[in-house]
Chains A and B, each alone.
Chain A
């Protein structure tokens, strides 16, 4: 199994590569992260211009129909360049949910704006104590005319300070851990009674704690079936994050290998030490395996195969551990330089650490992988 890219996919890949090479080197990224907003609006417009924001959507909603494979191609390159803009949050997660669960009116209202790059989105699902469980929801939604009023607290919502809209999970019935009774809502981020406290994340992004006190929300998908929708959404997000992680792993391995061939100590390059050679072989193997699993998962996502959730959890765990191993060793082998803010290596380390929290850590997903086997 090795993905042979079509001409179209090759074109997509080379256009992302060109764009990032020209506009997203490490210094450019550093400036974006340090800016007031922490986001490259101009870069986002470029992404729209080149068609990246349209790539995964179906043609029926105005996209290019590239599906999960185009997401994989884009995110792999984003991982190599440590892109901070919320492609996963806006296109893969929110766009995917709207395309999958939204009404015709919602698709019309929102997907074209996402593709045009004019609106940013974030998904607010985590709560205090929910850890990585999609069904642990205490935020409530009460019917109010045609709409709902949402009340509760959401935590660590990535990209929320940038977002125009949020998708919020809230309970329309049932108790705290019930799988049923959770619904999804579209909320205007600037709505009345919505408070947002922003903070910086370890990987140079922005996130926020969100407090809702009777905030108007519009139902997205069927009432009470939000957890199933979120699971499918998480599988797609995992596909994207795994591709990003593999891109970062590849860059770390290249950088470490280069360094070990040039850095001299004791009169020889440090790459001549057997203990470090074996370490780098293990890093190489970790990358190869992660790359294969990334492709396997993206193909399965494209084909909508059964057992997708189990595979997604397996890949998230395995690639997560691979990323952690490679990142640890890349810093270690770069010595003091690996600890500096100046060198890119530490920033890949931090991005991988963050990926390993988003949508569940490797320990959570290995357990879920085992449990889904027991169910099958």
Chain B
């Protein structure tokens, strides 16, 4: 399914497609880019997009965005995900960048935005804490003003790729007496500050994506406060809104479905009754993708006319993640007995993995994708949002 494109937009699509084909680094085409690339390798494509001026489609032109229409932004998203390119680090480009140019002061914009665009600074997100998951407003990490600094103490968790990060944007409590949402501030902390410790959390797929971040008497210059003290919740919600709309993942699901079809073709004989069952299951998921894609296109068309989808965007997170979980599960089933095997971490070419290459990451993807219905606001929370904010229940 495609948007009806003007000749200019169609030409733009062709340009994006050709650019990816000619420039995507071969070095980044590994079995599982999310776990197998070094920090430097992950940044290769980022730097190429930066040189081209395409690194931050969402950003206004004055801050270094390409100045695209909503339709062009969507085309770019569609082409890059369909091609399976690694998206630029969301915490930097999609999350903290827009917070800084929307709520930050001139000095903060001048200091941070260019380094985000160039990939010089790698950002991670200091939101969740052991006691504050779905209920983010209860964050307990404390920031106490001390002259022109804040002294920060607390424990952030599930911090994705903090092991590579130069900076962390944190929700911290600056007014312990106020109501939970009112006493929170949005603070930028240099990961090299004394008192910052990163501890890996290994997940059930064996990979190291997330971390605990401990903050012990960390001195943070007060100039790193975004906006006003105690208004952090407003900025946090703004940021989460950006996170949710990008979660339909149509391009990725389409790519994994196509691969699944090839695996089924190779693994399961046509006279095996399981074959028909897979064909049917795949068709069902394909229809799920089609329906979600049609919904996305409808919303994009509305947005192009200035209509904001608002909280109904939660449906993209819910369905996008459920669909991808279904696909990884079907893929794991399709490889049959090889689904018993899992790659060892850190991944190296010396470890033996049985069966054809296309099955080597099926187990880890299946296990890893369990996180999708948990993170970024669990799917239960997303359903609460729709129930409350859309249906008025």
Contacts and interface: CB of A to CB of B under 8 A. Distances in A.
B204 A339 contact: yes
Interface string B263-295: 000011100111001000000000000000000
B340 A357 contact: yes
A336 B128 contact: yes
Nearest to A346: B204
Contact of A336 (B158, B277, B339, B341): B158
A76 B144 CA distance: 53
B380 interface: yes
Contacts of A201: 340-342
Contact of A340 (B204, B380, B383): B204
Interface in A338-370: 338-342, 346-347, 349-350, 353-354, 357-358, 361, 363-364, 367
Interface stretch (B226-234, B298-306, B347-355): B347-355
Contacts of B344: 200
B363 interface: yes
Interface string B180-215: 000000000000000000000111101000100000
Contacts of B338: 155-156
A309 interface: no
A20 to B, nearest CB: 23
B370 interface: yes
A335 interface: yes
Interface string A207-247: 10100000000000000000000000000000000000000
A266 B363 contact: no
A363 B273 CA distance: 10
B269 A129 contact: yes
A357 B157 contact: no
A341 B273 contact: no
A137 interface: no
Interface string B23-47: 0000000000000000000000000
B269 to A, nearest CB: 7
11 contacts: A132-B336, A156-B340, A200-B341, A202-B367, A275-B380, A331-B370, A332-B370, A336-B158, A338-B374, A363-B277, A363-B333
Interface of B: 128, 131-135, 138, 157-158, 201-204, 206, 210, 267-269, 272-274, 277, 332-333, 336-342, 344, 351-355, 363, 366-367, 370-371, 373-375, 378, 380, 383
B269 A341 contact: no
A313 B380 CA distance: 34
B324 to A, nearest CB: 14
A341 B272 contact: no
A149 B206 CA distance: 40
**Shortest 6 CB-CB contacts between residues of A and residues of B:** A346-B204, A265-B135, A156-B337, A341-B202, A201-B340, A202-B342
B353 A199 contact: yes
B165 to A, nearest CB: 18
Contacts of A158: 340
A340 B383 CA distance: 25
A276 interface: yes
B178 to A, nearest CB: 16
Nearest to A126: B337
A302 interface: no
Contacts of A133: 272
A277 interface: no
A358 to B, nearest CB: 8
Given A200-B342, A202-B340, A335 B204 contact: no
A126 B340 CA distance: 12
A200 B337 CA distance: 13
B375 A336 contact: yes
A33 to B, nearest CB: 12
A237 to B, nearest CB: 14
Contacts of A23: none
B202 A342 contact: yes
A339 B371 contact: yes
A40 interface: no
Interface in A116-148: 126, 128-129, 131-133
A132 B277 CA distance: 15
A207 B128 contact: no
B201 A342 contact: yes
A103 interface: no
B380 A367 contact: no
A152 interface: no
